[in-house]
Chains A and B, each alone.
Chain A
Amino acid sequence: MSTLEIKDLHASVTTEDGPKEILRGVNLTVRAGETHAIMGPNGSGKSTLAYAIAGHPKYEITSGEVLLDGENVLDMTVDERARAGLFLAMQYPVEVPGVSMANFLRSAATAVRGEAPKLRTWVKEVKGAMNDLDIDPDFADRSVNEGFSGGEKKRHEVLQLALLKPKIAVLDETDSGLDVDALRVVSEGVNRYREGGETGVVLITHYTRILQYIKPDHVHVFAAGRVVESGGPELADDLEKNGYERFVRAAGAAV
């Protein structure tokens, strides 16, 4: 049973005018079996939080801690974090021309599992997972994300989630750009991953519609680089009705 602890995390990016602080003291604890929704206005730093956890080189951690089962994640390289059990479904998955999806998935599974999966069971496993997500088998031969539509990219992020079975998954707007059918398929994929109750999910989203499919245990409002309010599922309904206005103003006043 895993726990991800984020403690007073500060992160900045380098801009032409010097460093710009984006995360300003994030506190969040995610335990296995829990699903946390993070909602917040554009530009509030949600993706930055996701990238900071995953270790994107663009973001410099200036203070704070990220611990996975007590281990300091910030000391690990990007690939070590993934092998330790962290996963980030990206808002904008990256195209990698020349590398086939099949080859990529196998390399990732080999790395995360510590050994190459047996070919026969692997082929079955991938086919099954693709089928679950309504992904055409032809995608296996295509270059990673290259020329995929927005929705196809998101399905493939969830496909990787299904195959890599991380301890904690951060899903950054996996719902955006999906039509209703795709949203259902993708949500079912995430729910299958949550099923055993041994994994934790951080669901970053703008919309409550995905929360009808993936029920969160906790909802957090993110504004100006930190969590400004936490509550149960009812908080999402409040946000749906009243928007972020009140939190943004409060956060602005606090800065």
Chain B
Amino acid sequence: MTEVVSGLAPELKGAKRGSGIVPEASAGERFQSTDVEAFEVPGGREENWRFTPMKRLRGLHDGTAMFAGTAAVSVTETDGVTVETVGRDDSRVGQAGIPADRVAAAAWSAFREATVVTLDGTPEPVTVTVDGPGAGESAALHLQLRTTPHTEATVVLVQRGSGVLADNLEVVLADGSRLNLVVTDEWADDAVHVAAHHLSIGRDATLRAIAVSLGGDLVRVSPTVRYAGPGGDAELLGLGFADAGQHLEQRLLVDHAVPNCKSNVLYKNALQGVKGTTNAHTVWIGDVLIRAAAENTETFEFNRNLVLTEHARADSVPNLEIETGEIAGAGHASATGRFDDEQLFYLQSRGIPEDVARRLVVRGFFGEILQRLPTPELRERLEAAIEAELAIAGA
């Protein structure tokens, strides 16, 4: 299936004239700047904000979030892992990409020091923990994960706690390196987290990323993949569970500008609302751009949503824009299914209680993502977290 869908990432609208990097003529080029003032304050009608409940952003977008708090970063340091705290003038900062929306730029303008984690050789799996600034506080964060050539590493980035956090996460993969990256949003109910992920894939480098979104009031993550050389391979998997009142938004852009690269995107969300509260809401935007130079690109993106109850809404917008005829394969799709009363009746008619039936369906749905998690401990912990989410609605 190859299909051209126009309207890819028209974030140009949010830019002010004469500031930031001047956009190229391509329709897929987004306005980018590290300076928050280069962006207009979004009102909520803009293409890239139209799904986001602006009132719940706690001022991240309009300059009223003070970023006076701190989100503590801790890293398990083992052989082959170097952790540095650097100033914003460090030459590595920005290497993977810079903000394309006002909140990411606000985080960039506000952070004081960046944490750079360098992975070298074949280190043991590394856990990076980010703790929210605490209820009522807001913080800006800048974190960079980088590999040296031919490194093979696994990083689990756990984000948890309370408060409001805007951050930029840079991932810089050196040539021939391979990174298994798991990023979890396991926030407390009050948390608001808006993140930009800048993922730069070196020549012949491989990224296997899994984004897990469970907690928080509003979580919006915008990963952008760019290839720094041919032969790059990026797999982006996502798993989200939105319960009553939660807004989970995933906005992906895979920018194929060099030949012989691969991308594979699969995001799965389950939604479970409760009557009388704000809808459980997921938003998935999957933009893939294959530029003229990106010959022999192979790309596939898929979003599946499982609506478990009423009072839930899943928005899904896959976009594929192809500027070259020389591609190895390209496809995109999105499907939203409902766990309906007939399915529930069927399972129950075999003696299976309602809560077990729901668990069966959700476990089956997430299975293909969960089984790709790099460690059994993580798999068990996240499975338990998902079951706990299910139990809340059962009550």
Contacts and interface: CB of A to CB of B under 8 A. Distances in A.
Contacts of A79: 348-354, 357
Contact of B364 (A55, A57, A83, A99): A99
Contacts of B348: 55, 77-79, 82
Contact of B350 (A58, A82, A143): A82
Contacts of B353: 79, 111
Contact of B351 (A93, A112, A144): A112
A98 B365 CA distance: 5
A43 to B, nearest CB: 20
Given A82-B348, A94-B342, A94-B346, A107 B360 contact: yes
B345 A57 contact: yes
Interface string B361-388: 1001101000000000000000000000
A104 B337 contact: no
Contact of A96 (B341, B346, B354): B346
B22 interface: no
A114 to B, nearest CB: 10
Interface string A71-96: 00000011101110001101001111
A90 B351 contact: no
Interface residues of B, number: 22
A164 B352 CA distance: 12
A78 B345 contact: yes
A103 interface: yes
A111 B337 CA distance: 26
B356 A96 contact: no
B346 A98 contact: no
A111 B345 contact: no
B350 A104 contact: yes
A178 interface: no
Interface string B332-349: 000001000111011111
B325 to A, nearest CB: 34
A93 B346 contact: yes
A160 interface: yes
Nearest to B343: A96
A163 to B, nearest CB: 10
Given A57-B345, A78-B348, A111-B351, A98 B367 contact: yes
Contact of A164 (B342, B350, B357, B361): B350
B269 to A, nearest CB: 13
A140 B352 CA distance: 18
Given A57-B341, A107-B356, A82 B349 contact: yes
Contacts of A78: 345, 348-349
Nearest to B346: A94
Nearest to A97: B337
Most B-side CB within 10 Å, residue of A88, A100, A108 = A108
A190 interface: no
Contacts of B352: 79, 82, 107-108, 111
Given A97-B337, A98-B367, A112 B350 contact: yes
B302 to A, nearest CB: 14
A108 B343 contact: no
Contacts of B346: 90, 93-94, 96, 144
A249 interface: no
A94 B345 contact: yes
Interface in A138-196: 143-144, 160, 164
Most A-side CB within 10 Å, residue of B348, B357, B365 = B348
A169 B350 CA distance: 12
B337 to A, nearest CB: 7
A99 B361 contact: yes
A108 B367 contact: no
Given A79-B353, A79-B354, A111-B356, A96 B367 contact: no
Contacts of A95: 343
Nearest to A100: B364
Nearest to A83: B351
A54 interface: yes
B354 to A, nearest CB: 7
Nearest to A86: B349
Contacts of A20: none
Given A96-B346, A98-B365, A104 B351 contact: no
A56 interface: yes
A221 B353 CA distance: 34
A98 B364 contact: yes
Contacts of A107: 347, 350, 352, 356, 360
B346 to A, nearest CB: 4
Contacts of B357: 79
Nearest to B354: A79
A160 B360 contact: no
A98 B356 CA distance: 14
Contacts of A55: 348-349
User: Lowest 9 A-B CB distances belong to which pairs?
Assistant: A98-B364, A111-B351, A108-B350, A82-B351, A94-B346, A78-B348, A112-B351, A79-B348, A99-B364
Interface of B: 306, 337, 341-343, 345-354, 356-357, 360-361, 364-365, 367
13 contacts: A56-B345, A57-B345, A78-B348, A81-B349, A82-B349, A82-B352, A90-B346, A95-B343, A96-B361, A99-B347, A108-B351, A111-B356, A160-B350
